Amino acid sequence: MIETIGQALQFDFMRHALLAGVLVSIACGIIGTFVVVNRIVFISGG
């Protein structure tokens, strides 16, 4: 399984996709916490 992940990460677009996913998940976690703490649920559409 580790070999499969290593083979997939040989491609630039896969590394970029992984990096983008990590950055988006961090940003969404921070924004989600901000929304809940400040009780501004209207921003999230609910």
Q: Is the pLDDT of residue 46 over 70?
A: no
pLDDT tens figures, 1-28: 889 988 989 999 999 999 999 999 999 9
Q: What angle do CA 5, 8, 12 make, to 5 degrees?
A: 130
pLDDT at 37: 85
pLDDT at 42: 74
Q: Which domain holds residue 33?
A: 2-44
For 5, 36, 37, 43, the CA distances from 16, given in Å and listed in that order, are: 14, 30, 32, 29
Closest CA to 43 of 10, 34, 27: 34
Amino acid letter, residue 43: I
- Total count of domains within the chain: 1
Q: What angle do CA 23, 18, 43 make, to 5 degrees?
A: 35
